[in-house]
Amino acid sequence: MSTSSRRRLDADPPLLFPDYRATRTRAPKLPLVPFEHTLSELTGPVYGHERIGQGDHDLTQQFEGEPLGERIVLHGRVVDDDGRPVPDTLVELWQANSAGRYRHVVDRHPAPLDPNFAGAGRAVTDSDGRYRFITIKPGAYPWRNHDNAWRAAHIHLSLFGLAFTQRLVTQMYFPGDPLFFQDPIFNSVPDRDARELMIARFDLEQTVPEWALAYEFDIVLRGRDATPFEE
Ligand SMILES: [Fe+2]
């Protein structure tokens, strides 16, 4: 994996997108200064496989009881621009619970926390670049960016490559969400086709009868169909 110029950077959202209010103060005002990476940054181990627990990909089994909400399977492949699988990639996920609440101190949304849902999981892609999570469909949540602002339901995803410096972060959305039009984070990705690449596909084939719906979300690291990533 590489975050270098081989990625189609025009698909990614700009650092300053005034409708997304926090970027007005957060975006750097001066040109970025590139730093050479040190050898240990590039060659040091990212993580040990032994630290990925067997149940880390299943967010419905991390506590004694099951979390409330709509159980879903989220799966897909991490691929290169030619569709080549990217194996052994750490995929981390974090999200709000079904009521739209994060288990995080700064989340003040007056929606209930779920004692059986932490909202974080991780998986490693297999030799075919595949990952699979079992989780709960997150709820929309308000976020005070503008009057009556709501985030479209989304799941945050992070990918690590072969070194800590190779990290990509994106958000996955659900098809047909009525909140897309007023969500400036979704719309900060300038290109309409690129925005579509952040929307998972409902996958009837991978649904589990009597148990869970499924969504497929392929993550493309570069090229024409590259998934938009946060810089
Ligand atoms: Fe979020």
Predicted confidence (pLDDT) per residue in 82-112, tens digit: 899 999 999 999 999 999 999 998 898 999 9
Task: Pick the more confident residue, 9 or 39.
Answer: 39
pLDDT at 52 over 90: no
- Centroid of ligand 1 to alpha carbon of 12 (angstroms): 17
Q: How confident is the model at residue 2 (pLDDT cuts 50, 70, 90)?
A: very low
Residue 185's H or E segment, with its range, is helix 184-187
Whose tokens are 């959202």? That residue is 13
Report the percentage of the chain scoring pLDDT > 70.
90
Of the candidate ranges 17-21, 34-38, 146-150, 163-167, the one whose mean pLDDT is the lowest: 163-167
Question: Does the active-site annotation cover 156?
Answer: yes
Question: Does the active-site annotation cover 215?
Answer: no
Of the candidate ranges 7-11, 65-69, 95-99, the one whose mean pLDDT is the lowest: 7-11
Please give the structure tokens belonging to residue 175. 């098809």
Q: Which residues of 38-62 are buried (b: 16+ CB within 10 A; e: fewer)?
A: eeeeeeeeeeeeeeeeeebbbbbeb
Question: Does the active-site annotation cover 146?
Answer: no
Report helix, strand or coil for 93: strand
Question: Does the active-site annotation cover 102?
Answer: yes
Of the residues 7, 75, 154, 222, which is catalytic?
154
The tally of CA atoms less than 13 A away on the side-chain side of residue 3 is: 20
The predicted pLDDT at position 5 comes to: 38
pTM of the model: 0.89
The predicted pLDDT at position 55 comes to: 86
Of the residues 20, 131, 141, 173, which is catalytic?
141
Of the residues 71, 77, 102, 215, which is catalytic?
102
Integer Cα distance of 125 and 131 in angstroms: 5
